[in-house]
Amino acid sequence: MRKKVSIIGAGNVGATTALYISELDIADVVLVDVVDGIAKGKALDFMESSPVRGFHVNITGISGYDEIANSDIVVVTAGLARKPGMTREDLLFRNAEIIAGITDQIKRKAPNCIIIMVTNPLDVMAYLAWKKSGFSHNKVIGMAGVLDSARLKYFISKELSISSKDIQALVLGGHGDSMVPLSRFCTVSGIPITKLMSEEKVNELNERTKNAGAEIVEFLKTGSAYYSPAASVAEMVETILKSTKRILPCGAYLSGEYGLKDIYIGVPVVLGPLGIDRVIELELTKEELNSLNSSAETILKSIKLIDTVI
Ligand code: A3D
């Protein structure tokens, strides 16, 4: 029996994720969207590319939830983007309602799956899905750290004119302005990044990483990044399904690690076949811990705001 990955939301991130996962040839993919025809049309289009791209898995597109039954992983990318005149809070409430509804469906139809949350605000939506699903917290994971670290790796590789393959970079904290890039843990083939570039340059690349999402929105005008987010989801899916137990930065539930409790936030974890195997707790400097705490405060404030939906 092939593994099965369902993706809720067949928009830019969802559809691109479906394509990347299909091309890995490791799982059948079910694409779900509330707008009738979108998922079906895209799935059929992808399948018609399979003879050329050489993958053998099946992609199904639907507007209901029956087909997600027995999914090993459900990736949630459904939601709204901020529209003119909409505050961040409005968006928070609208997406919270959407995610609450979707989580109900996942709980009913795929009670044994692992949920990977992508919808923003990421850490809050991951918390909501965990609470609403009643799943064990190792089975609800947020995707952000893989993307934020990938962006930092890319900027470093461009700066040093070297392959990004040998770069290790770590970004902690909430997904957004408050993320915490940790240059102390950033290396190129084991060489600390600070030996290869000045501190000013390191800080500049960290800042660019924090604003990387906004930089792309500024170019696109009507949407946000989706190729790199989708690639990051596919990496998490591959890690889980192939049981490679890689250490990846993910949105994880903390119950005391880093001095934080009852929150989802980005930290390095061992990602195993059952979800988060364990959280890796690093010894942080006072300054790094302060940044992580202020990132956590922002997330906790938003969690409080959607108390009624939870
Ligand atoms: P978009 O292309 O608008 O796709 C969203 C899709 O969700 C649309 O096709 C909608 O029809 C669909 N949808 C809405 N409500 C439902 C529902 N109840 N059930 C099923 N489908 C529904 O957006 P996108 O793909 O660019 O982004 C999707 C989400 O991911 C947004 O919340 C983004 O902010 C977020 N995102 C997060 C990251 C991270 O790194 C965490 C990166 C990129 C995007």
Our mutation pick for probing the ligand 1 site, out of 120, 233, 302, counting the most ligand atoms within 8 A of Cβ, is 120
Catalytic residue, candidates 3, 131, 139, 175: 175
- Is residue 165 located within the same domain as residue 68? no
Reported as type and span, the H/E element at residue 162 is: none
38 CA closest ligand 1 atom index: 9
What is residue 83's predicted lDDT score, i.e. its pLDDT? 72
Within a domain: 280: yes
Within a domain: 180: yes
What is residue 1's predicted lDDT score, i.e. its pLDDT? 86
Within a domain: 310: no
- Is residue 234 located within the same domain as residue 271? yes
What is residue 261's predicted lDDT score, i.e. its pLDDT? 96
> How many CA atoms, within 13 angstroms, populate the side-chain half-sphere of residue 226?
20
Within a domain: 161: yes
**C-alpha distances in Å from residue 61, one per residue of 16, 40, 80, 96:** 13, 4, 20, 24
- Is residue 192 located within the same domain as residue 288? yes
Q: How many residues does the chain have?
A: 310
Query: 3-class SS at 302?
Result: helix
- Is residue 184 located within the same domain as residue 93? no
Ligand 1: residues with CB < 6 A are: 8-14, 32-35, 38, 77-79, 81, 98, 101-102, 118-120, 122, 143-144, 147, 175, 223-226, 229
Query: 3-class SS at 39?
Result: helix
Residue-wise burial string across 32-55, b where 16 or more C-beta atoms lie within 10 A, e elsewhere:
bbeeeebbbebbeebbeebeeeeb
- Is residue 129 located within the same domain as residue 156? no
pTM: 0.97
- Is residue 129 located within the same domain as residue 162? no
Cα 274 from chain centre: 17
Amino acid at 131: K
Crossing angle of helices 88-109 and 286-305, rounded to 10° = 80
Within a domain: 178: yes
Within a domain: 62: yes
How far apart, in whole angstroms, are the C-alpha atoms of residue 91 and residue 105?
21
Question: 28 near 58, Cβ under 8 Å?
Answer: yes
Residue 110 maps to which CATH number? Answer: 3.40.50.720
Query: 3-class SS at 43?
Result: helix
Within a domain: 299: yes
Block means of pLDDT (10 residues each) for the chain, 310 residues, are 96 98 98 96 98 98 97 97 74 95 98 97 96 98 97 97 96 89 94 96 96 91 93 98 98 97 97 98 95 94 88
- Is residue 107 located within the same domain as residue 164? no
What is residue 309's predicted lDDT score, i.e. its pLDDT? 81
Amino acid at 226: Y
> Domain boundary at 144, 177, 201, which?
144
- Is residue 23 located within the same domain as residue 117? yes
What is residue 308's predicted lDDT score, i.e. its pLDDT? 83
Within a domain: 17: yes
- Is residue 171 located within the same domain as residue 284? yes
> Domain boundary at 121, 144, 167, which?
144
Report how far ligand 1's centroid is from the alpha carbon of 257 (Å): 30
Task: Report the number of distinct structural domains present in the chain.
Answer: 2
Structure tokens at 203: 């800080």
Residue 267 maps to which CATH number? Answer: 3.90.110.10
Q: CB-based contacts of 21: which residues, under 8 Å, 6+ apart?
A: 5, 7, 27, 29, 233, 234, 237
Report how far ligand 1's centroid is from the alpha carbon of 11 (Å): 6
What residues make up the domain containing 267?
A: 145-305
- Is residue 93 located within the same domain as residue 132? yes
pLDDT tens digits, one per residue of 20-72: 999 999 999 999 999 989 999 999 999 999 999 999 999 999 999 999 999 99
Computed from CA positions of residues 185, 189, 195, 198, in that sequence, does the dihedral angle turn out positive or negative? negative
- Is residue 16 located within the same domain as residue 164? no
> Domain boundary at 144, 169, 195, which?
144
How far apart, in whole angstroms, are the C-alpha atoms of residue 160 and residue 40?
44
How far apart, in whole angstroms, are the C-alpha atoms of residue 83 and residue 79?
12
- Is residue 193 located within the same domain as residue 255? yes
What is residue 90's predicted lDDT score, i.e. its pLDDT? 83
What is residue 223's predicted lDDT score, i.e. its pLDDT? 86
